Structure 1
């Protein structure tokens, strides 16, 4: 291929960063971009040209991919960058104050000063410790420091020195009894396979190998397990459809790119129980006939990355990954981590495929569906972390026992992410059917002297619930009946001091920024939605008819769920809370 490479020359450091990718193909593009960005702090034209030559990728294509992700810089910037989360949970917990202090002492966002710059960031996934900031220092190796909760003073201090290689505090679970998915988090050493096995780990995989592939799929189907990423699609049906495809190979992808503002449950599982995900993926791979799996992990999760890498290394050494797993002749499976680079849209299942394959993370038109043509155009199962870690419960307890825990249509335990103006933010595990009032009480409610104004369910793509609706049972079917959604499990609490207008504007800004731009309804509609809300807040004009028209077009004609849900929270705020009048 005549690549028509750029004339720019890569530096010595950039050449060292790219050297390990010699002989690789286009699917190594995202890792190669990470390697350069981590080493140098930005991706120069010389580095991009070298990557293109090494991987045989046209420069225009590589530039399109590199410019797609917010964590990559294509213009020179300091090696040290402070990312300050200004998304929903952090916004209501003082993120604007942190930004104001940084502006005063370091300079305006995006401006280099004294070898450092700072940026406003979308959700960093540590909403239970909001507000949050993440300092990145390029080098060999690159280092990060998580500040959560952050203050203006701590952010200024972090900007003035190299990161102390802190990944933040380990996850804290406030509950003590009745835990199943979270029972090992904070109890066992997440770096120890022996601790994991002593706490029941790998009993489920042993059962799966004894039962056989068809029986595993049947048990998962009978359990009623629905996907926990927001779509609530039956997991067993997805596995069965993929296993039945004659084309091969089959692939398994774990979606660990939980970028929905207010969502952090998958991070807690990865940081507190990483071997559970490895075992769960191995069971899924056995059932669907996959020999290769990918974990698509958020680029902002340094602790999860380290612990998951350790878990994979240890499992390979001990025979729980690789060839003839657990002595089962002919069963081979391995897992590769692919780091995301700051793109909310890559949480969409087909956008993940494009990202892994080295293309822009834009959704694909369906059909064909992933079970037919997914990653590398082969049959693929995509499940998120929470969905997968339910599987060992099913294979140790049995489908009947698992299904009996909750309601007929919503089976098993569910993780909810409580954040915002609540006394004890964190991940809570409850059976489906628990009321929103009960869940809020478990987290201590709003602060003393404050009153509840609203609760956002499902994140930026979700909907609001009023204080008089707290008896809503938390099930998929009850949420639908109430014209809201559980989504990925976000429960973001707003008290009477919350700036609802500013909160809705941030949701609109989020969708404007995160739209991939592939389809016109979403690309234009998210901009018009934000502009209309700004006019309302500035002049109190009635923009509701325009908002409804734009929202309806996005919902009806956008390619993927981002555009289809970008209007949801705004609509529910207007209809349920009387906002934007």
Structure 2
């Protein structure tokens, strides 16, 4: 190591001829230069472990860079390492280290989390020391204790554990390449700079250059830095690449993306807030990306965004003691340093090129890279900027027109700048029926802009198809937070909160925020704004029950007045007294403190301790008698703040206890009792607002999992290998409950002979498993065709290997469906196990799971599960230890295209093309994804496969109907009491599902159900259609009644729900989702919408009803794909099952007469027209027509119209108008048929009058 703290050149740059001895020496030197952890998320009790992890991470990266994927060199290095007995005397230790190195080098796209967990596993198994080269400063025993504490944190506080891992990952990134010694070099500088200036920048550039292996002489050669940071960066990068290339190695950009930030944090500046602000940008990805998103913007825009982030930083409580102000010149230098980094698009493209899928399926063109690159660009910038498009064209060598066409094909991608604040509103079926249109209108009114446009104060709202959280309808999403069951009146307050951000004026909320952000074992700095004014110590109850010991405590501790407070991660509040800390007690976050007047004119403090629902749990120092038995009731008194007063709703009425104050805290003393601490400062009555929001964990973790909800379900699939559900992505938890047992069974790893592919397919066929994606195609038949398929390689194919592929469709686009989301999120290993079995059965070597982009939480879970399975050897090469058995899985995100669910469109979407059905294309089993035979199944279908293998085909088939085995998961929303996922065997009924869900909500009456999504139907479940409640749930049974079971979305609708408007909603949705290839689909859906608009506006006639039928037939006949053929189903099913809903709107037409009413009834197919004939001179002659409305239909129509009048009091009643036009008194309804005869003259006259159909 040189005198200035840097390694010699041989250790700075990886050596392509590096021996294990040299590598271990390099590791020792790295350990000496490692800094203590700086990440605030790392627990205070794991400092030594963090340092060891950072050093090991640095050393592993050196090996990867040095050998750069050269298989022979890697194998030679591993063999030599296994024989290195001088520095590694224990053979067992060498074997553990070799296993770690081999696993690390096996993939180029390991996530940092996976690398961290591999290192932790290595540390856990190593017995003679954590890693050779240890300088002895971190004894093995202490590191083991720290590792044990980290493991215990996972069980006790999962959120803190996840934050700790994020902190360790970030800390390790700050030590890659030469960053570790470069940071040590900056920290050890004796000179201090009063502020960020040119000298600081030169020091940072020197450190950055040496971190990249560039000699300091090169950096010192700049007498004046270029005006733009990218020019200086390109000069440094060019020199570094020249040096690295001379050694035969390439320079990776990924470790350098935040390099300047890590160095900026270590600059020797007197302003303490500088390092803290940089740490804020490092640890908070949203803040970092906000500044990064301005990389192509003007300098003024960059300054504005940086100032915004600086303002956000300064208001956060955890940084209150290290606030920072920067002058404009300092901000310009800060931005210059920040943007000394790789080009954003170049870095994204290089990361994508490292994905293992391109190594396993070589030859794929850059178009395959495009979707993920666009997703990343959209995430960073909020839209695809022109500069990004140009960067993508340069990096991926794709024509700009192709990039723009792909952007235009998907709703998730946008070429238009978005708002500063974006609100996403779900417009799925459940949300639409529960008030989404009112929410959208209210937001539009508030921001004075339509959907998709940027309104006042930079707010934009976007309507999304479905978030898959229909049980929370109506739902809006802000940033990464879902807000369920919102009303229009909530919008103004929500907008204000989003624009202002969370308020921390309330001092209790301020402290609680600090506590949440503290890592385990850490304590805040002394809070100078929190000084003690007075303290009251005592027990709960009225003031006269206190026996104050404050004077004794004050004498013992030296007094509290004027001292500052500190807070630790467990909520303990400390007084800083005479250089020492004294614990006053533990903070009670759910509390209300108040001040009240005493009889002698003085004032005193009191407090209420509350539960999460605002019910009083304890009263401290109350001015009024508060009987203890009141607090033992099941329903306790409710406390709240109104008009600045603390009020309590008690059984005898409302009590006012005093004036609310935020300048007081209530603490629980370690020895028992409570402490009331009054804080100095101006009066503060800021309300105790909370940062609200719901991070959705899927329907499996919601209240719908209550025992009463599960009791009558058939949990065949969801109950299989369910475990405790606490860590569903954990492979160890899945294995503990029998997971992957089905794979072991077919591979013969449990002692029995292995199954042949034919036997696996035969088992699936005998189980009568049918596809769960909607069509219900027999899975065994599809697998058999795929098993027999032969890969044909054409000259035009990018990949020339004869392989087969699997695609799991998790891109459920049906509004109201969230089965796939929950399976991916709560049963990811079950889906993976099914895919592995399918791969063995059909001979596939790679799989792709296509998932909706909106399912971000579910995708993270699935990604964790995949990488854990890889580390176990269940995915990758030679899976489960079977030589020659290779299968791996990749995740591809959808971008908002319903048509991508079509069998060919999904392949095009994965390939990086527009999601459009390919007309007259061969089947996927012949030429599917990338021209390879491809098996396409829904994720629910794959999740059923392990169950079949474990339980047996005969058992599985016996659980369903004659043609369909097993069970089906339905996502239930709407007017039932309990919404969520319901799993029932095929053959059960809608009535059973309603019963499982607790029946219909109070005040609601069931009218029907929207089933199967847009391709399904809107079914009536009352009156003459009540039999549908008892129709077996089965693909064939519902086909017979003119409906479609679909993928399993059920939205129960009430009598107050408008079916015609729902059908209109679907026509808009389908027109928007149409790919546009077939005019019948694209234009037909819009034309249906226009027809419905005329009807909804009260101008409809029989011609409009006839037109709906005719256009629906034309759409079906003129569409080429299954989605287009079913595009008119919502309209035709509504016409069939809810004719009275359309009749109601036609009756609103003031020009409607008796004749037109009968024509409308004919158009609704409620009556038929019969010819009136006359025999003249032995010839039959048609002289007119007759209509007859049967008495039972009349009775039903009158009853439906009467119910509609009752549930829609704001609309004109239509029952009376209907009877008037029929010219029948109400008491004769149902007593006789009603007829109308029309002669030819009348018909001709009517035709001459005509009706405008718009």
User: CA offsets per residue over residues 525-548 of structure 1, 9 Å max, x none?
Assistant: 111111111111013413121111
1:394 and 1:489 map into 2 onto residues whose CA distance is 20
1:165 and 1:497 map into 2 onto residues whose CA distance is 30
Alignment map for 1:134-213 (pairs within 5 Å): 134-136=477-479, 144-152=480-488, 153=490, 155-156=494-495, 159-160=498-499, 161=501, 167-172=695-700, 173=705, 174-176=709-711, 178-183=714-719, 187-188=724-725, 189-209=727-747, 210-213=754-757
Among candidates 475, 498, 518, match of residue 1034 of structure 2: 475
2:971 and 2:989 map into 1 onto residues whose CA distance is 15
Offset, 1:265:
0.7
Aligned pair 1:565/2:1132, yes or no?
A: no
Question: Secondary structure at 2:423's aligned position in 1?
Answer: strand
Q: Is the Cα contact below 8 Å between 2:846 and 2:887 reproduced in 1?
A: yes
Q: Which moved more, 1:52-61 or 1:288-297?
A: 52-61
Q: Is the Cα contact below 8 Å between 1:21 and 1:55 reproduced in 2?
A: no
Among candidates 436, 440, 447, match of residue 99 of structure 1: 440
Q: Which moved more, 1:398-407 or 1:23-32?
A: 23-32
Offset, 1:10:
5.9
**Counterpart of 1:140?**
none
Q: Is the Cα contact below 8 Å between 2:345 and 2:392 reproduced in 1?
A: no
Aligned pair 1:128/2:459, yes or no?
A: no
Among candidates 391, 404, 408, match of residue 962 of structure 2: 408
**Counterpart of 1:74?**
415
Offset, 1:53:
2.3
Q: Is the Cα contact below 8 Å between 2:852 and 2:893 reproduced in 1?
A: yes
Aligned pair 1:218/2:762, yes or no?
A: yes
Q: Is the Cα contact below 8 Å between 1:167 and 1:302 reproduced in 2?
A: no
Among candidates 1083, 1086, 1089, match of residue 530 of structure 1: 1089
Offset, 1:277:
1.0
Q: Which moved more, 1:370-379 or 1:44-53?
A: 44-53
Offset, 1:147:
2.3
With over 3 angstroms needed to count, the CA separation of the structure-2 counterparts of 1:267 and 1:186, relative to structure 1, is: farther
Q: Is the Cα contact below 8 Å between 1:171 and 1:185 reproduced in 2?
A: no
**Counterpart of 2:389?**
48
Q: Is the Cα contact below 8 Å between 2:969 and 2:1048 reproduced in 1?
A: yes
TM-score by length of 2: 0.44
Question: Secondary structure at 1:337's aligned position in 2?
Answer: strand
Question: Secondary structure at 1:390's aligned position in 2?
Answer: helix
**Counterpart of 1:491?**
1050
1:430 and 1:124 map into 2 onto residues whose CA distance is 24
With over 3 angstroms needed to count, the CA separation of the structure-2 counterparts of 1:366 and 1:180, relative to structure 1, is: farther
**Counterpart of 1:580?**
1142
Offset, 1:114:
3.1
Offset, 1:208:
2.0
**Counterpart of 1:255?**
809
User: CA offsets per residue over residues 92-114 of structure 1, 9 Å max, x none?
Assistant: 11223322332343442323243
Offset, 1:42:
0.5
Question: Secondary structure at 1:424's aligned position in 2?
Answer: coil
1:396 and 1:245 map into 2 onto residues whose CA distance is 27
Q: Is the Cα contact below 8 Å between 1:455 and 1:464 reproduced in 2?
A: yes
With over 3 angstroms needed to count, the CA separation of the structure-2 counterparts of 1:206 and 1:67, relative to structure 1, is: same
1:86 and 1:519 map into 2 onto residues whose CA distance is 25
Offset, 1:487:
0.8
**Counterpart of 1:292?**
846
Aligned pair 1:241/2:241, yes or no?
A: no
Q: Which moved more, 1:524-533 or 1:45-54?
A: 45-54
**Counterpart of 1:504?**
1063
Aligned pair 1:429/2:760, yes or no?
A: no
Higher relative contact order (CA 8 A, sep 6+): 1
**Counterpart of 1:321?**
875
Aligned pair 1:111/2:453, yes or no?
A: yes
With over 3 angstroms needed to count, the CA separation of the structure-2 counterparts of 1:69 and 1:390, relative to structure 1, is: same
Unpaired runs of at least 5, structure 1: 1-8, 137-143
1:499 and 1:338 map into 2 onto residues whose CA distance is 38
Q: Which moved more, 1:273-282 or 1:150-159?
A: 150-159
1:185 and 1:95 map into 2 onto residues whose CA distance is 35
Question: Secondary structure at 2:409's aligned position in 1?
Answer: coil
Question: Secondary structure at 2:969's aligned position in 1?
Answer: strand
User: CA offsets per residue over residues 447-504 of structure 1, 9 Å max, x none?
Assistant: 1232111111211211122221211111112112212111111221111111222211
Question: Secondary structure at 1:455's aligned position in 2?
Answer: strand
With over 3 angstroms needed to count, the CA separation of the structure-2 counterparts of 1:186 and 1:268, relative to structure 1, is: farther
Task: Count residues with an aligned counterpart.
Answer: 566
Q: Is the Cα contact below 8 Å between 2:714 and 2:967 reproduced in 1?
A: no
**Counterpart of 1:20?**
351
1:43 and 1:158 map into 2 onto residues whose CA distance is 28
Among candidates 554, 558, 574, match of residue 1115 of structure 2: 554
1:295 and 1:148 map into 2 onto residues whose CA distance is 28
Root-mean-square deviation over aligned CA pairs = 2.1
Q: Is the Cα contact below 8 Å between 2:483 and 2:693 reproduced in 1?
A: no
Q: Is the Cα contact below 8 Å between 2:698 and 2:821 reproduced in 1?
A: no
Q: Is the Cα contact below 8 Å between 2:722 and 2:737 reproduced in 1?
A: no
With over 3 angstroms needed to count, the CA separation of the structure-2 counterparts of 1:197 and 1:351, relative to structure 1, is: same
Offset, 1:22:
5.3
2:497 and 2:832 map into 1 onto residues whose CA distance is 34
**Counterpart of 2:992?**
438
1:41 and 1:18 map into 2 onto residues whose CA distance is 18
With over 3 angstroms needed to count, the CA separation of the structure-2 counterparts of 1:22 and 1:221, relative to structure 1, is: closer
1:134 and 1:274 map into 2 onto residues whose CA distance is 24
Offset, 1:406:
1.3
**Counterpart of 1:139?**
none
Offset, 1:322:
0.5
Aligned pair 1:463/2:1017, yes or no?
A: yes
1:218 and 1:164 map into 2 onto residues whose CA distance is 52
**Counterpart of 2:917?**
363
1:121 and 1:233 map into 2 onto residues whose CA distance is 30
**Counterpart of 1:228?**
772
Q: Is the Cα contact below 8 Å between 1:205 and 1:283 reproduced in 2?
A: yes
With over 3 angstroms needed to count, the CA separation of the structure-2 counterparts of 1:15 and 1:363, relative to structure 1, is: same
With over 3 angstroms needed to count, the CA separation of the structure-2 counterparts of 1:67 and 1:158, relative to structure 1, is: farther
Q: Is the Cα contact below 8 Å between 1:416 and 1:429 reproduced in 2?
A: yes
Question: Secondary structure at 2:1097's aligned position in 1?
Answer: helix
**Counterpart of 1:88?**
429
Q: Is the Cα contact below 8 Å between 2:1059 and 2:1138 reproduced in 1?
A: no
1:342 and 1:70 map into 2 onto residues whose CA distance is 5
Q: Is the Cα contact below 8 Å between 1:321 and 1:333 reproduced in 2?
A: yes
1:18 and 1:107 map into 2 onto residues whose CA distance is 39
Offset, 1:145:
2.1
Q: Is the Cα contact below 8 Å between 2:469 and 2:699 reproduced in 1?
A: no
**Counterpart of 2:151?**
none
Bigger Cα Rg: 2
With over 3 angstroms needed to count, the CA separation of the structure-2 counterparts of 1:78 and 1:452, relative to structure 1, is: same
Question: Secondary structure at 2:927's aligned position in 1?
Answer: coil
2:347 and 2:460 map into 1 onto residues whose CA distance is 25
Q: Is the Cα contact below 8 Å between 1:126 and 1:264 reproduced in 2?
A: yes
